[in-house]
Amino acid sequence: MRNYIIRRILTIIPMFFIISFISFVLINLSPSDPVEIILRANGVPVVTEELIEETKIELGLDQPFLVRYVNWLNDVIHLDFGKSYVTQQPVFKMISPAFGYTMQLALANTVVTIMLSIFLGIICAQFEGRMIDRGTRSFLFIISAMPAFWIGTLAIWFFSVKLNLLPTSGVGSWTNFVLPTMVMSIGYCGFYFRMIRNSMLENMNENYVVYARSCGVKEKVVVKHIFRNSIQTAVAAFCMAIPGMMAGTVVIENVFAWPGLGRLCVSSIFNRDLPIIQAYVLILALSYCLFNIFGDIVTAVLNPKLRKA
Amino acid sequence: MKRIRILICCVMMMAMCVSLGACTSQDSGGTGEAKTTLTTARSKDIGDLNGHLYAGDMAAQGMVFDTLVENTADGPKAALAESWDISKDGTVYTFHLRKGVNFTDGQPFNAEAVKANIDAVQRNPEKHAWISLSKKIKSVDIVDDNTVNIVLSEPYYPILTELGLLRPYCMMSPATFINGETKDGVSAFVGTGPYKLTEHVQNQYATFVSNDEYWGGEPKIKTVTFKVLPAGQTAQLALQNGEIDFLYSNYSDAMLDSETLKSMGTNKDYQIVYSEPCATRFLMVNASKPETIIADKNIKEAIWYGINKEELSSEILSGLETPAETLFPSTAPYCDVKLKERTFDTAKAKKLIEASGWKMESGSEYYTKNGEKLSVRIEYRTDVAGVKGICEYLQSNLKDIGIELVLTGEEKSAYYDRRKTGDYDLLIDATWGVPYDPQSTMSAFSAPSSYLTSTQNLENSQEMFDWIDQALVSTDEVKRQELYTKVLNKIQDDACFIPLTDVQVIAVAPKDLKNITFNQSQYEIPFEKMYFE
């Protein structure tokens, strides 16, 4: 098990180099002159050729591509992501709070999604084919098919404007989490509760369940075992969903003015703020790798057979 | 049965949790907000407020910094300079500074501070090449503690207007300069303005507290908060919910759209306030490629005649913008000139197209010539609200006169690339507005990254650029008007810029917010003049 974990963690190193290089290449393939875009993003009314040249040298963009990549990589290894071209602030200082906010939202969403999915998955599996099962599936099918920005706007209108119960947007207290988490988790629940329900139904017909029941094992204990065996596929999917949520919060962050990574990244893309974009891509890619490993470990903990392997 | 009971209990517990959260929110939401605070929303963070650079939100900079003079509809007026004298040859401007003014960090505002500020701007010439004054200032000389001379290399009449522009000649506390410079940043944003920045959480909010020693009188609104909210529905809902008190929109940051304004207009608790027209939305016509369809003057004119601006204004823009017939409004300095009119006339448009050899085949919707369809492209910025709708309307207008208009929406950088390289037929853009119009916008006619692709291949275009240069240095008012008249006639006759509508600043606020006025520049909002009743 330990060797397995170490081996998995070591795979991050080549992945890091591959991801960083590909992202650096792709970002630099843009046909627009980054210097000109930076100057416009800085509000310079008229961009002259002299100013472009001066800024290019100032930012080190006159250097050959490989030199720039190696310099950047060297800095990144020392946790220095450079300075934002637009705000002139260290990228780390800008990304850290945004990462924190996105992580908070992603975690809140994960907790709600897991709890709701498990709850609804078990209920629907227990009442398979009955009104509550069909009703829940139909409701979540319809609601998760709706675009998040639309549900988000409707939710703000209803809960904040009409009922005046919750803040419309921003961060500050736990009440700010309610609407974005609710809107985000609806979409995810529609997928994960089905996964748990189907897995539970499959397990309910397994021989070990029939055997346990025929031996007179209490129903509570039987359900516990069914659940434990059913949850394994969902755990791997949940773990991969966390970085997915981090990357996919852009729409929610925009609707609810959440100062997270998504908004920062989109504005950086429009301003061609390369240091921020590169850091964003790298952080998200590493998050995917780490959560993937985390998912594998949790699955191994749940399933002793995998531990032995 | 037991399972159903458990299920019901769970649902009830969840409902209670939500209600509890909701109640807590209501309590902390605060409905009795003191009426000396105001919260507004912007789609972007206030950014770097260094007033000698261009990255910050101008509305926020306007709250913190002052200029020597203030641009008004009646011309430049006293601000930090109480009065000024001009030498006979027009090259020395002597400014008599307001006494007893301090920066909000306690540093005195005096001739030394003025010199430090202007010198710091002048030491960053590349960034300020767009403003002709930066090329004309020879020196800044201290006469005494409250008097300063600005010496020019040659007479330059827009000096007062350009010193009245917030950027780059606003006054910042020299104590915040880094090694006497501002081009690489400042240690704090400190000015003499009506407010001081007290808190800034990036991408969330910025709080400004009134400067009680403000030379223009203590502002009645004590705290102004800028919240970062996405433009559109969220901001409107936050306004309705009372989380923000003031929402305004200009060309560069359209926080309001026509639908929002329509719905707010019917709400008796809110008021909508419009500024005077302050900029012009127009079509930039490519003149850099003589072989293209759009280089034909008849086609340019036909497009101009073919656009129904009245309907565009009333139906598409819900009356928020008024039809424009000239690139600069007649209220802009030197622009009250009678120019050639081209009112909506489809018959005339078709005649012009046919005069260029285009023919309408039977059963065809568009004109053709030698098998080629009369088709032109229009590029628009996807980040500017409402512009796509305008382009779609133009598309239907031009279809009526047999021209196919192909729409391309692109992000800002791609759009500006096209403008610079001339890879377009039509671009939809807006002038900088007063007080930049006409002198700064006209100066940009010859700038490669601005309007050169629209002006470079016109007949005698170099002569037009010379007229602009001469107008800027002329000391004779009559001659200057003459030169501007020639330039205005030239661009109108050549149809290189097709005006569409005049743009206004629009503000929405609760009815009890009084004295909502606008500065001459569309980018600044005088919060210090507002108060709650």
For A270, the closest of B238, B411, B447 (CB atoms) is B411
- pLDDT tens series, chain B, 533 aa: 455 455 444 444 444 444 444 444 433 344 455 589 999 999 889 989 999 998 899 999 999 999 999 999 888 999 999 999 999 999 999 999 999 999 999 999 999 999 999 999 999 988 888 888 999 999 999 999 999 999 999 999 899 999 999 999 999 999 999 999 999 889 999 999 999 999 999 889 999 999 999 999 999 999 999 999 887 788 888 988 889 999 998 877 778 777 777 778 788 889 999 888 888 999 999 998 888 999 999 999 999 999 999 999 998 888 888 999 999 988 889 999 999 999 999 999 999 999 999 999 988 999 999 999 999 999 999 878 789 999 999 999 999 999 999 999 988 888 888 888 899 999 999 998 888 889 889 988 988 888 999 998 888 899 999 999 999 888 888 999 999 999 999 999 999 999 999 988 889 999 999 999 998 888 889 999 999 98
The verdict on residue A158 lying in a domain is yes
Mean pLDDT of the A244-265 span? 86
Domain count, chain A: 2
Lookup: tokens for B165 = 């522009």
Give the domain CATH number at A162: 1.10.3720.10
- Find residues 67-126 of chain A whose CB sits inside 8 Å of chain B: 86-89, 94, 97-98, 119, 123, 126
Distance separating alpha carbons of residues B217 and B476, to the nearest angstrom: 38
Full domain range(s) for residue A190: 94-260+283-308
Residue B203 touches partner A, C-beta closer than 8 Å: yes
How far apart CA A54 and CA A39 sit, in angstroms, is: 11
Is position A103 within any domain? yes
The secondary structure element, H or E, covering residue B281 is strand B279-285
What does pTM read for this prediction? 0.83
Q: How many CB pairs under 8 A join A and B?
A: 147
The pLDDT assigned to A308 comes to: 58
Q: What is the pLDDT of residue B372?
A: 93
Whether the CB of A246 is below 8 Å from some CB of chain B: the reply is no
Q: Is there a single domain that holds both residue A161 and residue A287?
A: yes
Pairing of strands B513-514, B531-532: antiparallel
Contacts with A167 from chain B: Cβ below 8 Å: 25, 29, 241, 243
pLDDT > 70 in chain A, percent? 98
Q: Which of B315, B311, B260, B312 is nearest to B283 (CA)?
A: B312
Nearest residue in A to B234, CA atom: A255
Please give the structure tokens belonging to residue B310: 């009245």
ipTM (interface pTM): 0.77
Alpha helices in B210-345 (DSSP H): 233-240, 258-265, 297-306, 309-311
- CB of B204 less than 8 A from some CB of A: yes
What Cα–Cα distance (Å) separates residue B494 from each residue in A136, B164, B517?
67, 32, 37
Q: How far apart are CA B83 and CA B146, in angstroms?
A: 11
Distance CA B402, CA B374 (A): 7
pLDDT band at A241 (very low <50, low <70, confident <90, very high): confident
Give the C-alpha separation, A99 to A104, whole Å: 8
Query: A254 — contact with chain B (CB < 8 Å)?
Result: yes
Give the separation between CA B93 and CA B76, rounded to whole angstroms. Answer: 14
Are A271 and A41 spatial neighbours (Cβ–Cβ below 8 Å)?
Answer: yes
Residues A149 and A25 in one domain: no
Predicted local distance difference test score (pLDDT) of residue B355: 96
Nearest to A182 by CA among A248, A105, A119: A105
- Whether chain A has a CB inside 8 Å of the CB on B444: the answer is yes
Note whether A237 and A290 are same-domain residues: yes
Q: Do B54 and A272 touch (CB under 8 A)?
A: no
Residue A273 within any structural domain of the chain: no
Question: Which of A164, A256, A263 has its CB closest to that of B241?
Answer: A164
User: How far apart are the C-alpha atoms of A283 and A264, rounded to whole Å?
Assistant: 13
Identify the residue with better confidence: B26 or A80.
A80
Q: Do A129 and A183 reside in the same domain of the chain?
A: yes
Q: In whole angstroms, what is the distance from residue B147 CA to residue B112 CA?
A: 9
Contact (Cβ atoms closer than 8 angstroms) between residue B80 and residue B101 = yes
Interface test with B, best of A36, A168, A219, A274 (most B CBs within 10 A): A168
**What does B203-236 look like in DSSP terms, one character per residue?**
TTEEEEEE-TT-TT---S--EEEEEE--TTHHHH
A33 within some domain? yes
* A150 lies in some domain: yes
Asked whether residue A180 falls in the same domain as residue A62, the answer is no
Stretch (H or E) spanning B502: strand B497-503
pLDDT of residue B463: 94
Cβ pair A173:B28 closer than 8 A: yes
- Between chains, do A169 and B203 touch, taking CB under 8 Å as contact? no
Q: From CA A136, how far away is CA A152, in angstroms rounded? A: 21
Please answer whether residues B470 and B322 qualify as being in contact, where contact means their C-beta atoms are separated by less than 8 angstroms: no
The residue ranges of DSSP E strands in B124-228, in sequence order, are 137-144, 147-152, 177-178, 181-186, 195-201, 205-210, 223-228
- Per-residue buried b or exposed e for A267-291, using 16+ beta carbons within 10 Å of the residue's own CB: bbbebbbbbbbbbbbbbbbbbbbbb
Under 8 Å between Cβ of A239 and A255:
no
Contacts of residue B410, defined as CB under 8 A and 6 or more positions apart, other chains included, come to B379, B380, B381, B382, B418
Q: Is residue A265 part of a domain?
A: no
Q: Most B CBs within 10 Å: which of A115, A166, A270, as the mutation test of the B interface?
A: A166
CB contact under 8 A, B203 and A88: no
Asked if A37 and B29 come within 8 Å (Cβ–Cβ), the reply is no
Q: What are phi and psi of B425, to 5 degrees?
A: -105, -55
First vs last C-alpha separation in chain A: 8
Q: What is the pLDDT of residues B509-526, one digit of tens each?
A: 999 999 999 988 888 899
Q: Report yes or no on A224 lying in a domain.
A: yes
Cα separation, B343 vs A275, in Å, equals 50
Does domain B279-503 correspond to CATH entry 3.40.50.300? no
For chain B, give every residue range classified as CATH 3.40.190.10: 34-48+193-275+505-532, 66-185
| More confident of the two residues B96 and A23 | B96
Which position has the higher pLDDT, A8 or B405? B405
On whether both A56 and A27 belong to a single domain, the answer is yes
Rg of chain A in Å (alpha carbons) = 24
> Which of B372, B379, B376 minimizes the C-alpha distance to B401?
B376
Q: Is residue A108 domain-shared with residue A231, that is, in the same domain?
A: yes
A63/B contact by beta carbon, under 8 A: no
Domain edge (last residue) among A42, A73, A91: A91
Interchain pair B237, A168: CB under 8 A: yes
A104 CB neighbours in chain B (<8 A) are: none
With a cut of 80, say whether residue A91 has pLDDT above it. yes
Please check whether residues A84 and A121 belong to one and the same domain.
no
Q: What is the DSSP letter of B529?
A: G
Considering only the beta carbons, identify the residue of A89, A160, A272 that sits closest to B241.
Answer: A160
For residue A277, tell me if it sits in a domain: no
Q: Indicate the residue among A91, A117, A149 that finishes a domain.
A: A91
Per-residue pLDDT reduced to its tens digit, B295-352: 999 999 999 999 999 999 998 888 888 999 999 988 889 999 999 999 999 999 999 9
Place of tokens 């800034």: B200
A223/B contact by beta carbon, under 8 A: no
In this predicted structure, the answer to whether residue A68 has a pLDDT above a threshold of 60 is yes
Residue B78 amino acid letter: A
Residues A103 and A77 in one domain: no
Angstroms from B87 CA to nearest CA on chain A: 31
| Three-class SS state of B501 | strand
CB distance A255–B44 less than 8 Å?
Answer: no
Whether A187 and A118 map to the same domain: the answer is yes
Q: Which class would CATH give B66-185?
A: alpha beta
Do residues A228 and A116 share a domain?
yes
Residues A83 and A98 in one domain: no
**B240–chain A Cβ distance below 8 A for any pair:** yes
Answer yes or no: do B54 and A44 touch at CB < 8 A. Answer: yes
- Report the DSSP beta bridge partners of residue B322: B502
User: Which of the two residues, B148 and A217, has the higher pLDDT score?
Assistant: B148
- Of B53, B148, B45, B54, the residue nearest B92 (C-alpha): B148
Per residue in A149-189, pLDDT (tens digit) is: 899 999 999 999 889 899 988 888 899 999 999 999 988 88
Which CATH superfamily hosts domain B34-48+193-275+505-532?
Periplasmic binding protein-like II (3.40.190.10)
- Domain boundary at A91, A107, A131, which? A91
